[in-house]
């Protein structure tokens, strides 16, 4: 099933001329996880949000900006980072996109600002990026993503206020996967209409399992922003198969039947596959071929990542500050000093 996101990439290639194979990363994460490398914090299995990532990327330009929280591997991929670099970063190797220093939650790319660990903290940042776009007059916008859990953070409302006041070109997207870590949305939020949380900011609710819905909605929002009509809030209704993190089995606060139900009826990749096959846009053989090719690419990337060495120890102290002569950093003992180069 995981290989079927190649469908998306192909379909979207045809529609938009752009690759958006977000599922290859989930596949990769599964291969890596099965080799049980425990040195990364896997709070991030993207499962089932593939439609969100692929849809969003299809609707914006590469020159637009995107920022999200920690469930970011697919966005890292859609924003242009290779599977190889993502897997290396997961394992803390020097070939990683953040040079092995960030890990699972901290991957970055041009016009992709991460990869942020603290829930909700990325939203005011996103508003700021939008301000920069407006200030520079470059017709770009910022897509700022957060989850239903983060929707209850105070700093979001501060960001909403600023964005609305100054009509910032910011699309606030709430990826509602029904659970705020281990607490279901109804038990965490007084209002589960996350698209209405912007209050004075208009909002749209979108089926996050349907990649084409997501793409159209984001396109609409992007056009609105580029016309200078200010921020917009969007809620993508999606789900999360696994628990919040490796320490969360994901079944102490919901039933297995619920998970199975969503898996069988609402999986975005399966849905798209159905649509494409029934409309004769592709054939089963073509899908199989893509499947094989993607699997190969991911396997190679995984092999590369596992063989890649870790970053050199000198890197431990680099890039703390921006400093011209190397900076002295206190070591673990008062008489030992390390050098920080940046």
Contact positions toward other proteins, by CB under 8 A? 37-41, 91-93, 100-106, 117-120, 149-150, 152-155, 180-183, 187-189, 247-248, 252-253, 307, 309-317, 320, 329-336, 338, 340
Which residues are within 8 A (CB) of 296 and not within 5 positions of it... i.e. 6 or more apart?
Answer: none
Please state whether 144 falls in left (phi above 0), alpha (psi between -120 and 50) or beta: beta
- The answer to whether 98 touches 89, Cβ cutoff 8 Å, is yes
Which tokens in the block code for residue 335? 């008489």
Handedness of CA 233, 238, 244, 248 (dihedral sign): positive
Measured from the CB atom, is 279 or 321 closer to other proteins? 321
Measured from the CB atom, is 157 or 166 closer to other proteins? 157
Alpha-carbon gap, residue 166 to 169, rounded angstroms: 9
Measured from the CB atom, is 19 or 180 closer to other proteins? 180
Alpha-carbon gap, residue 64 to 227, rounded angstroms: 15
Alpha-carbon gap, residue 316 to 113, rounded angstroms: 22
Which tokens in the block code for residue 64? 């637009």
Measured from the CB atom, is 45 or 134 closer to other proteins? 45
The least distance separating other proteins from the CB of residue 245, rounded to whole angstroms, comes to 8
Measured from the CB atom, is 62 or 337 closer to other proteins? 337
Alpha-carbon gap, residue 252 to 114, rounded angstroms: 30
Measured from the CB atom, is 279 or 333 closer to other proteins? 333
The least distance separating other proteins from the CB of residue 106, rounded to whole angstroms, comes to 7
Task: Return the beta strands (E) in the chain as ranges.
Answer: 65-67, 142-147, 170-176, 179-180, 183-184, 203-207, 232-237, 327-330, 337-340
In the block, residue with structure tokens 């194979």: 21
Measured from the CB atom, is 38 or 227 closer to other proteins? 38
The DSSP result for 227-259, as a single string, is TT---EEEEEE---SS-SSTT--S-SSS-HHHH
Number of CB atoms found within 10 A of residue 321's CB: 8
The least distance separating other proteins from the CB of residue 14, rounded to whole angstroms, comes to 39
Measured from the CB atom, is 150 or 298 closer to other proteins? 150
The least distance separating other proteins from the CB of residue 225, rounded to whole angstroms, comes to 27
The least distance separating other proteins from the CB of residue 120, rounded to whole angstroms, comes to 7
The least distance separating other proteins from the CB of residue 214, rounded to whole angstroms, comes to 24
Alpha-carbon gap, residue 340 to 317, rounded angstroms: 5
Beta partners for residue 226, in sequence order: none
The least distance separating other proteins from the CB of residue 140, rounded to whole angstroms, comes to 29
The least distance separating other proteins from the CB of residue 288, rounded to whole angstroms, comes to 35
């Amino acid at each position: 099933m995981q290989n079927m996101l190649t469908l998306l990439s192909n379909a979207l290639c045809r529609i938009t001329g752009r690759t958006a194979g977000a599922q290859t990363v989930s596949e990769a994460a599964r291969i890596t996880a099965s080799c049980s490398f425990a040195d990364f914090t896997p709070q991030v299995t993207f499962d089932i949000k593939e439609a969100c990532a692929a849809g969003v990327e299809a609707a914006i330009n590469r020159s637009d900006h995107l920022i999200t929280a920690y469930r970011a591997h697919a966005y890292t991929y859609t924003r242009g980072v290779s599977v190889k670099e993502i897997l290396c970063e997961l394992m803390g190797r020097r070939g990683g996109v953040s040079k092995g220093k960030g890990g699972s939650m901290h991957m970055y790319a041009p016009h992709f600002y991460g990869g942020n660990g603290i829930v909700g903290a990325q939203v005011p940042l996103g508003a700021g990026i939008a301000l920069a776009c407006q200030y520079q007059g470059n017709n770009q916008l910022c897509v700022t993503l957060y989850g239903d859990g983060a929707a209850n953070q105070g700093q979001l409302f501060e960001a909403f206020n600023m964005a609305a006041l100054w009509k910032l070109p910011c699309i606030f997207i709430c990826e509602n996967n029904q659970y705020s870590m281990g607490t279901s949305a109804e038990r965490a939020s007084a209002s589960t209409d996350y698209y209405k949380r912007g209050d004075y900011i208009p909002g749209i609710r979108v089926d996050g399992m349907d990649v084409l819905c997501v793409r159209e909605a984001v396109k609409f929002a992007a056009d609105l922003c580029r016309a200078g009509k200010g921020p917009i809030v969007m809620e993508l209704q999606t789900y999360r198969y696994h628990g919040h993190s490796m320490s969360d089995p994901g079944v102490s606060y919901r039933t297995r039947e619920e998970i199975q139900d969503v898996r069988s009826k609402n999986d975005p990749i399966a849905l798209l596959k159905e649509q494409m096959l029934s409309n004769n846009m592709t054939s089963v053989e073509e899908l199989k071929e893509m499947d094989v090719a993607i699997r190969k690419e991911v396997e190679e990337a995984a092999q590369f990542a596992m063989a890649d060495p870790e970053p050199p120890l000198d890197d431990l102290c680099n890039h703390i500050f921006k400093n011209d002569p190397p900076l002295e950093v206190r070591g673990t003992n008062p008489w030992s000093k390390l050098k920080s180069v940046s």
